[in-house]
Amino acid sequence: MRKQLNKTLATAIFAALSTTAIAASSAPSFDVNELDAKIAPCADFNGFVNAKWVAANPIPSDRTRWGAFDQLREHSLQTQRAIVEAAALGANKAEAGSIQQKIGWFYRSGMAEGAIEKAGLAPVKPEIAKIDALKTPADIAAYINDSSSRGQNGLFAIFTSPDFKNSKIQIAYVAQGGIGLPTSEYYTKPDYAELRAAYQAHVARVLELAGDKPDAAKKAAEQVLAFETRLAKASLAPVELRKPENQYHFVTLAEADKASPNFSWTKFFVAQHADIQGGFSLSQPGFFAEVDKMIADVPAGEWRTYLRFHAIDSASPYLSKPFAEAHFAFYNKTLNGQKEQEPRWKRVLSTINDAMGMALGQLYVEKTFPPESKKRALELVNNVSAALKTRIENLDWMSEATKQKALEKWSTFLPKIGYPDKWREWSGLEVKADDYYANVLAASKFNYDYEIAKAGKPTDRLEWGMTPQTVNAYYNPTDNTINFPAAILQPPFFDANADDAINYGGIGAVIGHEATHGYDDEGSQFDAQGNNANWWTKEDREKFDARTAKLVAQFDGYEPLPGKHVNGQLTLGENIADLGGINVAYDALQMALKQSPAEAAKKIDGYTPQQRFFLNFARIWRGSILPKRQEVLLNADPHAPAKYRAIGAPSNMPAFAQAFSCKAGDAMVRGADTQVKIW
């Protein structure tokens, strides 16, 4: 579950009421035998609900984490595999140019290991030749323009999104990038000296595979690390990037060109065929000022080394085994602790999801998500939304003026369920049956052209930023939409045959979470129309900040690894959404129980509806994670570790303490001075 501020962040939850999900209803909606009676719920609710399951379900060797989300993703992948394998078998006889044919050929080309091994580095050699020809700063700038126009620029990101000040129109955004390690601190902190050395060794290994002599590769790797360190020092940290003022910096072309004497943004956008309507967002000016200096003062040879390495490295997952294995060895194994590489079908399927995800989603929905599922999910959304409205109206710390603005925003929420009402057109994408890397390149350009063509056009609130087969959900503040892909609408989040408590504790909390993102530390800075505007009184904002500061302190105190704490500021938005979401969902459950007194008074397996609500909330966060992967996420991910999400919000709720008869002093009962109440 996440908030999405632009298409690149839209770089984490839900086979809807599918025939498959409904048929598999013989299992209990919540298995109380999984509860650990040796752990008191008031001492460690996550342990009480999830410890036995975690002990019995170790992390698979080809993964870095395993839990409720991962199980659903595995289920989605298996469904997708059946779809793409059937498409591959029937591709030659499929309708010419159909998505079935394109997906079938794409998958077939990715599974053709013999042809990929035979090709070796050959697919990347044309790009290497372009890079080797760069001699001057003007050449380097021209290459950046050209590679970007093909969707291949790794130096910085370019995408379209609603204008922060006029959300009805899409504009172009450019944002920092260019580094191979997770965040800027990996290049500077002593803690990561070993990882820097490992990354440098990886760079050398890749260049040796490409034909460099060992000594030359070692020297080149030193240059790449130095180059990226300079970029990293000019980059903002993830916690700073969460601030809207660091995501949006509108400039005219003339202003941008004046600030970048060595890189013409006018020429850049001409090469992109983009309509920028007089300006664009140069989102992190400090980073781009440094890039401009580097174009002038870094020798062309070092630019060639940097660009050459990244051209090969980014292509490595689609090349022969030596390259793919080198890529896995550093990014998956060394950096994240993954023991074994995923089977090839999963890797190829991941590529198809990146390249043609929405087309695959169209086939996925036909197989798994009947139209009536949309209607039933929307009923839950409406119930939780009504509870949110009531909670806003009854806030005791917010003035009437700000409440009216909050309710205005609530009234413009647009929920989107399952899949888009209109599917994207794929007729311009040429896919070959026997050339995997050519297909990757073609899709990259096709998708980039589709994205950049939106610049200057009206914002389409009905467009989706996630595919239906994605196990996730998101809120987008710039169009004020809450979005629930088909793949998250299944147990443990939603079960058509379960009691209300289970569904409100699962998908209800997710719905509330996404809606509350509209009022978190970032979402609260966008108004009902999706514009970055202040709709708060000064006094109300100060009260809000004081309350959220307590939540920052709560999560700062969690220590998932020895000496490594959660960053409460980085994870604040998600933690606000968890707290608001579970409160709103609990309210919605109470309203539902009032309509059904018999259910309200009924215990299932010895547990009341209130208890089952919290049991399922904790269950959706069950899981374990490898230490190396956890450390990367602590530095870069705006989501707190799952085990703290299971306990963080409930520990602030008197309703939880009442449900389980917890007492003051219990770990799951926060004292009056630390208890957090926001929405």
CA dihedral 118, 124, 126, 128 (to 10 degrees): -130
* Same domain flag for 301 and 154: yes
Per-residue pLDDT averaged across 410-434, rounded?
96
**pLDDT at 466 > cutoff 70:** yes
359 within a domain of the structure (yes/no): no
Tell whether 190 is covered by a domain: yes
Is 534 among the domain residues? yes
pLDDT value for 319: 98
Residue 335 lies in a domain: no
Q: Per-residue pLDDT for 154 more than 80?
A: yes
Residues of 308-317 as b/e, b for ≥16 C-beta within 10 angstroms? bbbbbbbbbb
pLDDT of residue 6: 42
Q: Does 296 share its domain with 401? A: no
User: Looking at the 3D structure of the chain, how many domains does it have?
Assistant: 2
User: By C-alpha distance, which of 199, 160, 155, 159 is closest to 177?
Assistant: 155
Query: What does the longest C-alpha to C-alpha distance in the chain come to?
Result: 79
Alpha carbon 295 to its chain's center: 32
Using the predicted structure, report yes or no on whether residue 5 has a pLDDT greater than 80: no
Amino acid (1-letter code) at residue 58: P
497 falls in which pLDDT band (50, 70, 90)? confident
Mean pLDDT, to the nearest integer, of 528-540? 98
Looking at the structure, do residues 292 and 416 belong to the same domain, yes or no? Answer: no
3-state secondary structure 320-342: CHHHHHHHHHHHHHHCCCCCCCC
Query: Domain boundary at 298, 318, 338, which?
Result: 318
How far is residue 661 from each of residues 49, 608, 618, 657, 671, measured CA to CA in Å?
16, 12, 17, 6, 15
209 CB-near residues (< 8 Å, 6+ apart) = 121, 312, 322, 323, 326
As a whole number, mean pLDDT of residues 335-350 equals: 98
From 279, 301, 318, give the residue that closes a domain: 318
Positive or negative torsion for Cα 235, 137, 310, 104? positive
Q: Does residue 313 share a domain with residue 414?
A: no
pLDDT of residue 370: 79
Q: What is the pLDDT of residue 3?
A: 56
Tell me if 523 is assigned to some domain: yes
Q: Is 598 a domain residue?
A: yes
Alpha carbon distance 225, 201 (integer Å): 10
Whether 290 and 375 share a structural domain = no
Distance CA 364, CA 375 (A): 18
Taken in order 425, 427, 432, 436, the sign of the CA dihedral is: negative
The residue behind tokens 């979005």 is 483
Using CA atoms, how far apart are residues 597 and 517, in angstroms rounded to an integer?
Answer: 32
Residues ≥6 apart with Cβ < 8 Å to 324? 316, 317, 318, 341
378: tokens are: 């929307």
In a 3-state reduction of DSSP, which class is residue 272?
helix
* Residues 375 and 482 both lie in one domain: yes
- Report how far Cα 490 is from the mean position of its chain's Cα atoms: 20
213-263 tens-digit pLDDT: 999 999 999 999 999 999 999 999 999 999 999 999 999 999 999 999 999
**Model confidence over 171-182: pLDDT tens digits?**
999 999 999 999
In a domain, 305, yes or no: yes
pLDDT digits (tens, 9 = 90+) for 111-133: 999 999 999 999 999 999 999 99
**DSSP track, 362-424:** HHHHHHH--HHHHHHHHHHHHHHHHHHHHHHHT-SSS-HHHHHHHHHHHHT-EEEEES-SSPP
Mean pLDDT for 500-508 is: 96
Q: Are residues 239 and 381 in the same domain?
A: no
CATH of the domain at 572: 3.40.390.10
- Whether 252 and 380 share a structural domain: no
Residue 531 has pLDDT above 60, yes or no: yes
Residue 266 shares a structural domain with residue 393: no
Does one domain contain both 309 and 377?
no
Of 318, 352, 385, the residue that ends a domain is 318
Q: Quick one: average pLDDT of 30-48?
A: 97
- Dump pLDDT digits (tens) for 625-661: 999 999 999 999 999 999 999 999 999 999 999 999 9
Q: What value does the mean pLDDT of the chain take?
A: 94
Q: Where in the sequence is the domain holding 159, given as residue range(s)? A: 121-318
User: What integer pLDDT is reported at residue 285 of this predicted model?
Assistant: 98
Write out pLDDT tens, residues 566-607: 999 999 999 999 999 999 999 999 999 999 999 999 999 999
CATH number at residue 200: 1.10.1380.10
Q: What is the pLDDT of residue 550?
A: 98
Q: What is the pTM of this model?
A: 0.94
Task: Dig out the tokens for 599 from the structure.
Answer: 């259910």
Would 60 be classed as within a structural domain?
Answer: no
Q: Are residues 156 and 278 in the same domain?
A: yes
Quick check: 12 pLDDT over 60?
no
Q: Return the structure tokens found at 635.
A: 């530095």
pLDDT band at 369, cuts 50/70/90? confident
Do 286 and 404 share a domain, yes or no?
Answer: no
- Position 669 scores a pLDDT of 98
Is residue 16 pLDDT above 80, yes or no?
no
